[in-house]
A and B are shown apart, each in its own frame.
Chain A
Amino acid sequence: MNLDQVVLTGILGVSALLFLVRVLSIARGVRKGTSEVWWDHLGVRIKNVVLDGIFQRKLYRERPAGILHAFIFWAFVFLFFSVVEIVVAGYIPGWTLPLGPLNGPLYLGQDLVAALGIVGVVMAIYRRTVTKPRRLMHEGNRAAIVMLLFILAILVSFLLYTAARIVQNAAAAEAAWRPVSGILATLLSTAGGAGIAPGLESAMWWTHVVALFTFMAWFPYTKHSHIIFAVFNVFFRKPEPAGAMRPVPPERAASPGASTIRDLSWVSLLNAFACTECGRCTDNCPAHESGTAMDPMHLMMALRDAVLVRAGTQARTAGAAADGGASSGEDLFLAVHSPEAVWSCMTCYACVDGCPVSNDHVSKILEMRRQLTARGELRAGLQGALESFSRYGNSFKAPPKARTKWVRNGGLALRDARKEPVDVLWFVGDYASYDARCQALATRTARVFDRAGLSFGLLHEGEWNSGNDVRRVGEEGLFETLRDHNVESMRACSFHDIVTTDPHTYNTLKNEYPHANGGRILHYTELLDELVRSGRLRFSKRLGYRVTYHDPCYLGRYNGVFDAPRRILAALGVDLVEMPRNRSKSFCCGAGGGRIWMEDIPGEAQRPADLRVKEAAALEGVTVLAVACPKDYVMFTDAVKAAGLEGSLQIRDIIELVEEAL
């Protein structure tokens, strides 16, 4: 072996060593997590990998980001082969990959992606230095730009290397298949660079190798570890619906949830190394925007540090022996995210939905909440709400009998599904039944159902809170009690489908309740949409309002129901203007995750609902903000008053508009 080869071997060796040390320490860290099944639902998992891992469709929500990343991504994929060829050529000069006729197309691909890759990198650098979108500015720019420059060096040196080879011997360098390099070679020759070509070839080869293997050694120590882990992360992400939480395993019943990283599953811990620090989660987070301590991206980054903590180097937690040797650096509340931040989450799912590598921030927060609740460390207001649920089945400290007060007051004769068979069981929901402002909406809904000739009935006092938000506060036992009670009430009834006016109720009924009779769970907008399309519900007039629509988190983002409400609005004849943040980018009203029961939210500078109504009010000519959730109705009505917008913006539930147009 000559000196060059020795140096090459050294570079490879050091790079491989550093790479392996890091990857192994990540593996060791991730293995601290609990076990999780990953071989089920293989079809879903593979589909996810194709759509999100390979085609990275989420990145295209922001077109430039999607394009530039695709350029860089495919450059890495194709150039992997060139790396093999280039390195082996260092030992066996002139060696090429034994692909036969496929070599040509491969080189073509490499050439093109290298060029596009350079475009991508330049676009990326431009964004970080000139455009400066907010979400990229959460973390420092320097490391990212240095990395980009490394990639640039790798790509440029590759093209210049092949260009130099073409100048010397076009045929051997397969110039026919390398258009871009060919152009560079021509430019080089024309500029009289034929003489420097050998030197350039050598210099570029070394530049390429050094840049590449420095990158290889360095990248797993940074957020670029996503290069390795993102695709796996996408594969391992939970296959069940977003709105379905996992129950507490029986062996954890005494201390449910997570207090240290060892209580999270290894899939959950892997998230931290798939995280690209892109900032989409924090940018989309309403809790963060309103000023609280919640910060999904920093949660991930702190998790990464906590996973890599080496036992013995940190102070022990008080119960270190009990939690299997976990040190304080692994304690989630001390090292990752404080209880205050954890309670500020609305479980709106914007973070998870926006994450290009399929990280699940919400599941960690929910596991931490399970632990806080088990310890009795509840945010002020939650204890009263939970105790009220436990005693009365609602959070209003009102007797079960008062649930149907709105029925009696409205003078309606609504069927009791417990006593007679109906087509549709209407699960009304707590807010619609007990909150004075929403009771009027429930009455309207009943009238509309009547007009449509729907055969429907209620559970009356047999209905308890569905438990969606109770579960998301971490009170699994109480959720089970509520759910079992409701299931029992429904068992006695005869019906086909269930309809509900509350998206939270909808989510848990659809995703977390057992399905006894095989019918559908529908949100009222889905049901009305069907009735309108089938002609059973007709409108007598067209409403001329200029309307914008707020997608409820648990209807839209969690369960994909975006179009049914819009079709109804279209049928009503209103002039629909989309909110700047619409559909899956909808901005939460702030009521979810139990926050509507909490007495105060520390750190909150502006309430999410206030921010949202201002967003609606800024739309030119819009006089109505349409909602499809009673909590949205309550939150936005209060916000309109707080923001002094009473005259200019009305909050109206879709059911009100429907009734008006009948």
Chain B
Amino acid sequence: MKIAVVLRQVPDVVEELVISDDGRSLSEDDVMYLTNEADDHALEEALVLKARAGAQVTAVSAGGDEAKEALATAVAKGADEAIHVAVPFEHRGDNARLASVLGPMMKSAGYDLILTGVWAADQMDAGLAGGLATQLSLPYVGGLVSMSLDPNGAHAVVRKEFPGGRLGVLEVSLPAVFGIQSAEQPPRYVPVSKVLAAKKALRVREQGEPPAVAAGVRASKLVKSGSEAKAEMLPGAVPQVAEAIVRILRERGIA
């Protein structure tokens, strides 16, 4: 069983986000990247499946140098293979383009399962997984929180989140692409020493030059939110705040 996991690097929002001078993108010098959280879950799910059913896990990361760091971490966690896809800064977040780059590469590799996060923090397009699936003419289901594979490798039974706390159970024929919402267990911790050791021994396959494709959607304007109406802040220490809240509740007839 061969599983591919795509790890995208997205801007770290803990750091202050700076809009570049063109007003429609982030400033390249100020952005710090980290692995998209849902993609981390996808990797964890792949490793869970590897432990359960024995599989070869290939970690594919897209981005700049920080994407190679992500590969070292993935290998330290247990991925068997590492592939890097260089994505120039201006194309980061463009999942349609990424799908067209990954499609041909994955077609020839013959993966049984392709996992990635159902959502990327920096996406404003259709996302990666669905487009990739369509390119590869594979079925796609997203929003998954668990899956089990048939011993013969022909099917997977997946649990998909629906609103209201409902779970849909679906049977999907493999090979398939899945968009992971959360893995069956939280993404594991891997000690720094292991990551450093993996980095030293890391052998990364670089994905070749992508074909020229039409880009996906691009922003015509990018601003920082938070300029919307904000809450009226109640000042003072705990007793004053409590009194203010009680007063507001009584005014509304709630208390």
Contact = CB atoms under 8 A, between A and B. Distances in A.
A253 B190 CA distance: 13
A374 interface: yes
Contacts of A248: 193
Contact of B192 (A376, A383, A390, A399): A390
Interface in A479-536: 480-481
Interface string A459-481: 00000000000000001111011
B193 A477 contact: yes
A568 to B, nearest CB: 30
Contact of B16 (A383, A390, A397, A399): A399
Contacts of B189: 373, 376, 378, 383, 386-387
Given A397-B14, A401-B16, A374 B34 contact: no
Contact of B191 (A374, A392, A397, A399): A374
A256 interface: yes
B192 A481 contact: yes
Contacts of A187: none
For chain B, what secondary structure do more than half of its interface residues adopt (helix, strand, loop), or is it mixed? loop
A391 interface: yes
A51 interface: no
B155 to A, nearest CB: 31
B15 A478 contact: no
A199 to B, nearest CB: 73
Interface string B183-195: 0001011111111
A392 B196 contact: no
Contacts of A376: 188-191
Interface in B165-202: 186, 188-197
A393 to B, nearest CB: 12
Contacts of B190: 376
Contacts of A475: 191-192
Contacts of B193: 248, 253, 256, 476-477, 480
Interface string B8-43: 000010111000000000000000001000000000
Interface size of A as a range: 20 to 34
Contacts of A256: 193
B196 A399 contact: no
Interface in B200-237: none
B254 to A, nearest CB: 27
A285 to B, nearest CB: 27
Contacts of A46: none
Contacts of A401: 15-16
Contacts of A378: 189
Nearest to A377: B189
A477 B14 contact: no
Contacts of B15: 399, 401
A49 B192 CA distance: 40
A248 to B, nearest CB: 8
Nearest to B187: A383
Given A253-B197, A391-B34, A477-B196, A373 B191 contact: yes
A398 B16 contact: no
B187 to A, nearest CB: 9
Interface of B: 12, 14-16, 34, 186, 188-197
Q: What are the 7 A-B residue pairs with the smallest beta carbon separation, nearest first?
A: A477-B193, A477-B192, A478-B192, A376-B189, A383-B189, A399-B15, A376-B188
Interface of A: 248, 253, 256, 373-374, 376, 378, 383, 386-387, 390-392, 397-399, 401, 475-478, 480-481
29 contacts: A248-B193, A253-B193, A253-B197, A374-B194, A376-B188, A376-B189, A376-B190, A376-B191, A378-B189, A383-B189, A387-B189, A390-B192, A391-B14, A391-B34, A392-B14, A397-B14, A398-B14, A399-B14, A399-B16, A476-B191, A476-B193, A477-B191, A477-B194, A477-B196, A478-B191, A480-B192, A480-B193, A481-B192, A481-B196
Given A390-B192, A477-B191, 10 more contacts: A248-B193, A256-B193, A376-B191, A391-B12, A391-B14, A392-B14, A399-B16, A475-B192, A477-B192, A478-B192
